[in-house]
Each structure stands twice: as structure tokens, then as C-alpha cells.
A = this chain, B = another copy of it.
């Protein structure tokens, strides 16, 4: 039954799935997440299999992964033996969950590697008369830049989480004076600011 509502839901689910692909998250996992995100009542495995046309095994694996990530949770209905699933719908919390997990898996290892490299090269660099001394110094410079960048982004991230959406609005005002960016940012940025001002809830 293709009501406009259903159609909108399906469209969003498919798009979200595609996006997942770009982010190294498998399509089905992203689709399940999207489906739960846009559905008010909890769904059981069979609902998900039906709506997304996937096998039981596939559904089970990906549901488990989503639970592991902390993006959805299991729940039970009174007098019903099935497990139901529900998404966390606080977008900021969702963002925090995803970013922390990704940082742990993806950013921290590279920081460790950089630090390790810094160390081992610093020693090699003690005897600066080797032929590629300049190469080494440049290498060091570059990875230190990178290290600093990652650290900075790390604290920006904490900062953002600490102050949330309203914090960023204030920040925008604070830093740009007027709320309009000093430098004529892209139109999408201006649109973003407008949107926030005009449709902010609460």
C-alpha cells in the first residue's frame, strides 16, 4: 500500500542505506537502523525481514551489530515472546555513540602509530649527518602537524558534545558577532543558519 507516508519512509530508508555504504557501514545495517529510526512502534525481526526483504540470518546479524554499537535496543512486549527493537531517537546521542565508536576503532590506532613513528624517528634523527637528514626532518614536521590536527579535532569533538546544538548556535553568534558569517560562506551554510533560526523547536 503505497501511501505517501509509506513512500517517504521507504525513500528515506533506502537513501540512508546508500549513505551507510559510503561510511564503511554495510547497507543492510544502515537500512535497519533507518527503518527503526523512522518507525514509532518497536519492530520484531519478522517485521524487519518483511519490510526490507532480507533473510532471517541477515536481519539477526545486523540487529545484533546495531545493539552492540548501542544504536538500538531490545525490548519485550507483555505476553509476547518475540524480541522487539527500538532505535535511540535522540540525534545528538546517536551522533555521540557513532563518533565515539569510530574514534576508538579508527582514530586511536592511527594516533598510536603516529606517536610510535615520532619516537622511532626522533632517535634516528640524533645523528643528523646521514644523507637523508632533511627528509627525516620534513617527515617529522608533517606527522607532527597531523598529530596536532587530530588532537585539535578530538577536543573540538568533546567541546561540541558538551555544549550540544544550542551551544553551537551561541558559538556561531559569538564568533561571527552577528550570526552572519563574516566571510560570506557558501549558500548552504547561510541556509543552515536561517533554518536553525526559523524552525528551531522548543
Which residues of A does B touch, CB under 8 Å?
3-5, 7-9, 11-12, 15-16, 18-19, 21-24, 37-41, 89-93, 95-96, 100, 102, 105-106, 108-110, 113-114, 116-117, 120-121, 123-124, 132, 134-136, 138-139, 142-149, 151-152, 154-156, 158-165, 167-169, 171-172, 175-176, 181-183, 185-186, 188-189, 191-193, 195-196, 199-202
Our pick among B124, B149, B164 for the contact of A95 (Cβ within 8 Å) is: B149
The answer to whether B5 and A139 have CB atoms under 8 Å apart is yes
Question: Is there an interface contact between B37 and A142, defined as CB atoms closer than 8 Å?
Answer: yes
Taking a contact as CB atoms closer than 8 A, the residue among B19, B134, B163 that contacts A40 in the complex is B134
Closest to A89 in B: B142
**CA–CA, A199 to B122, complex, Å?**
15
CA distance A189 to B136 in the complex (A): 29
Are B38 and A142 neighbours in the complex by a CB distance under 8 Å?
Answer: yes
Min CB gap A147→B, angstroms: 8
Chain B residues within 8 Å of A93, by CB: 196
Chain B residues closer than 8 Å to A3, beta-carbon distance: 124
Q: Which 4 A-B pairs have the closest CB atoms?
A: A155-B182, A151-B192, A8-B117, A161-B192
How far apart are A108's CB and chain B's nearest CB, in angstroms? 8
What B residues does A121 contact at CB under 8 A? 4-5, 8
Q: A19-B106, A105-B22, A146-B91 are in contact. Are A151 and B8 (CB under 8 A)?
A: no
